[in-house]
Structure 1
């Protein structure tokens, strides 16, 4: 991917990771140090104690305790020749998640601080940042150059944009010069990772949180969030907005801050996540414990509300079809199971009857627990969760009645990139700014209050709002154009 969508940014309460972005689009080295100050030095045992005290966990999906990873890498290194490596997972193959992109585009030095802090504790000579977007790669390379000698041991490597690229063995395989696909082997990177070395591999946000905690100290870090889950977390809401919020915040409040609501339900954890019914979504907190009570996990922080005016069954079919195409293609459940599941789901939603709907349930069960990686399980659970939360919708479609709603494509997919553009006629535009109010994810205003661009790409999921902006422009200065 040369460059993907850039998220809007927001926060609930004072931001930590996103601090300073209210006055600057990107914090270079000088702005970063002005905002955060110098990075303190930590002995290895002190860094482990810090990570343990704040219960720092991986923010890429699995939520594994960071202190345990540090210990595991150090222990393996002692048993060998002492050499280690650090890898920052900056790949985001999940179309609904943009938080790592936001960090690497806007505050890359915070991520590098955390990675270099961990590298110093492990005496690692090699630090690698794996990315999949060219604009992210350029931002990180610029940050490395801005650090001078301090960044000399940091390498930036761009890998193919795929859903499975971020899986641990896939990422390491790609960084080692192989194919960026899951190996199918249960090999921990703490045992054998980059160049065969014991490797500390964690997500972009995890390293940024470590850098914040190192400056604040455990006590001040714990001043935000829940006592049992301290700190803040980054969420990508509706595939467009990255919000930093303290843990323990009510999910519906976060959605309201982003200008939306639970609608027909909320998908939490992205396309390997779980659906929450509206009643659950209105009471759940942004916390592991609260989400666990609904058998859900935050995963990589993707939160996708489903608006009232789109068809749930059709949205799920779109994602299931794309997930089947994103298969690693290395085991039966991926090669045959996921395409078969997507096909029978599409058949059921197209009016295939109860037999087809029963077949969907049978296919999800057949796929689970048999894959070489987590992709088949995650996709099957996504479909099973949708069937459980929207049973009437799927039944109505299977019986041929349908729901009467169009599929708006609100669940973001790469295929949503559209040739349509919103075009401004400068001879008519009066700078009312109503287009920005209706379509903040597409329209940016310049310092003079007029749209900053004359022609703006519009994705399928933004098209309904774009048409509304065209209709409501007081000066009739907007039009849609292919």
Structure 2
């Protein structure tokens, strides 16, 4: 997912702020950055908190939590515990439909570092950690850090596994602390216990970049664009390929028209944990929390995906549901069994499984919701449910056998296969020995699927490299000795 093919294009509606200068160069080095943005002012902690509050700055990674309250929470926790603090920049984007933070770190890393260092000074943190998942992003940030030279607060760049769940707060902290980059399943505030157990200010890349812009402009000038209730600009990833900076409150349809896509059959807002807007709603919606909330949607991490007329909605949604099942943390029943089963019945419905298949999809959605150790099962189930509501005739026609006749074009982007076709190692079933114990699917839900009789649905299954240890464990633990691993 980190090759040149997914380096995003850039665009602006109105005058750019975060993307200033990138029309002239592909990478703002330290000298160019200062020439474009000017020197970074100094702030007393209370002044920075007031600035963040005055401009209504919220996290741009999905949850939208007020940044000023995050600052205050870390400072309070540090005082109460008499503890050191840390600042973490969440630069991991495990979703292929979202590239805005990648764009900032690839093209304007100094702006992000400025905001993180401002925040570090406010909470008295001695270290800033930038967490990334892509090799090219890691190189860009390291080059920017090297340009700044020694002295001041330490800035460390850490690379974590590129997975959908890596960016969840507890998963990110666990990975940075040397553990698995998986959600803890516990309600742990990083402001109380984060990096190394310290109170930690954790926010995403765009949030820190917005703070750096506001620090230079001041609150009144920052508020001169956008909505009074949501001042400033927002970054969007449109169609999984173009990062666009636009003032808040801009018409969604206007942005999509400028990008040459229009609203198509509908628009997915908020990425693969987001909601679908039907064409009429997409033409009416503005890029603001209040406007999108009226349609049951949130902007989240800024992914906006119009569905072109020439693609199959049901097939696109089923493909994403399968990928999301594979990207789960694999730590609880709804992830291990529920999401793969949901993908199974959804694919069955799309292939013409009849009304029973559609009813099975609804049953699987109910079985997954509000039962996961993290938000991934809920987010995935709501994405599917939203698609069923937005495209009811499409799913009905597919289930009843007529279908739509259109191909799946990949309008909802997914990463390329982890292994070349035919090149993956394989898990092989010996049918003369298999007794249908089902232990293999418990260990390898991303690889093994059971048929209606409880036996593996395939005799030979490709195993991605990252799942090789689990495949070997499945072979060793099969009570009937019916599995073997073929390299």
After TM superposition, the score normalised by the length of structure 1 is 0.86
Aligned to 1:161: 162
In the alignment, structure 1 residue 221 sits paired with structure 2 residue 222: yes
CA contact (8 A) 1:144 1:152 kept: no
1:403-452 Cα deviation digits (max 9, x unpaired): 111111111000279999xxxxxxxxxxxxxxxxxxxxxxxxxxxxxxxx
Q: Distance in 2 between matches of 1:245 and 1:416?
A: 33
CA contact (8 A) 1:104 1:111 kept: yes
Segment of structure 1 superposing worse, 230-239 or 152-161: 152-161
Q: Distance in 1 between matches of 2:31 and 2:152?
A: 15
Q: Superposition pairs for residues 131-280 of structure 1, below 5 Å? A: 131-150=132-151, 153-280=154-281
Aligned to 2:47: 46
Q: Superposition pairs for residues 6-405 of structure 1, below 5 Å? A: 6-150=7-151, 153-405=154-406
CA contact (8 A) 1:97 1:236 kept: yes
Residue aligned with 1:181, SS: coil
Distance apart, 1:359 and its partner CA: 1.1
Q: 1:327 to 1:418 in 2, by over 3 A?
A: closer
Q: 1:233 to 1:185 in 2, by over 3 A?
A: same
Residue aligned with 2:298, SS: coil
Q: Distance in 1 between matches of 2:383 and 2:71?
A: 32
Aligned to 1:464: none
Residue aligned with 1:415, SS: coil
Aligned to 1:451: none
Off by >3 Å, runs of 4+ in structure 1 = 1-4, 416-420
Q: Distance in 1 between matches of 2:134 and 2:10?
A: 19
Q: Distance in 1 between matches of 2:124 and 2:28?
A: 28
1:322-365 Cα deviation digits (max 9, x unpaired): 00000100000000000000000000111111111011111111
CA contact (8 A) 2:126 2:153 kept: no
CA contact (8 A) 2:83 2:198 kept: no
Consecutive unaligned residues of structure 2, counting only runs of 5 or more, are 422-487
Q: 1:333 to 1:17 in 2, by over 3 A?
A: same
1:68-123 Cα deviation digits (max 9, x unpaired): 10000000000012410000000000110000000000000000000000000111
CA contact (8 A) 1:409 1:416 kept: no
Q: Distance in 2 between matches of 1:83 and 1:306?
A: 48
The two structures, once aligned, show a CA RMSD in angstroms of 1.4
Distance apart, 1:366 and its partner CA: 1.3
CA contact (8 A) 2:251 2:286 kept: yes
Q: 1:150 to 1:312 in 2, by over 3 A?
A: farther
Residue aligned with 2:261, SS: coil
Residue aligned with 2:411, SS: coil
Q: Distance in 1 between matches of 2:18 and 2:7?
A: 17
Residue aligned with 2:379, SS: helix
Q: Distance in 1 between matches of 2:151 and 2:267?
A: 43
Distance apart, 1:214 and its partner CA: 0.5
CA contact (8 A) 1:145 1:151 kept: no
Residue aligned with 1:165, SS: helix
Count of residue pairs the alignment pairs up: 420
Q: Distance in 1 between matches of 2:120 and 2:151?
A: 12
Q: Distance in 2 between matches of 1:394 and 1:297?
A: 24
Consecutive unaligned residues of structure 1, counting only runs of 5 or more, are 421-482
Q: Distance in 1 between matches of 2:273 and 2:3?
A: 24
Aligned to 1:3: 3
Distance apart, 1:226 and its partner CA: 0.3
Q: Distance in 2 between matches of 1:261 and 1:95?
A: 21
Residue aligned with 1:414, SS: coil
Distance apart, 1:152 and its partner CA: 5.3
Distance apart, 1:258 and its partner CA: 0.9
1:32-59 Cα deviation digits (max 9, x unpaired): 0001111001111111101011110000
Q: 1:243 to 1:2 in 2, by over 3 A?
A: closer
CA contact (8 A) 1:144 1:151 kept: no
Q: Distance in 1 between matches of 2:48 and 2:153?
A: 22
1:15-48 Cα deviation digits (max 9, x unpaired): 0000000111110000000011110011111111
Q: 1:149 to 1:14 in 2, by over 3 A?
A: same
Aligned to 2:459: none
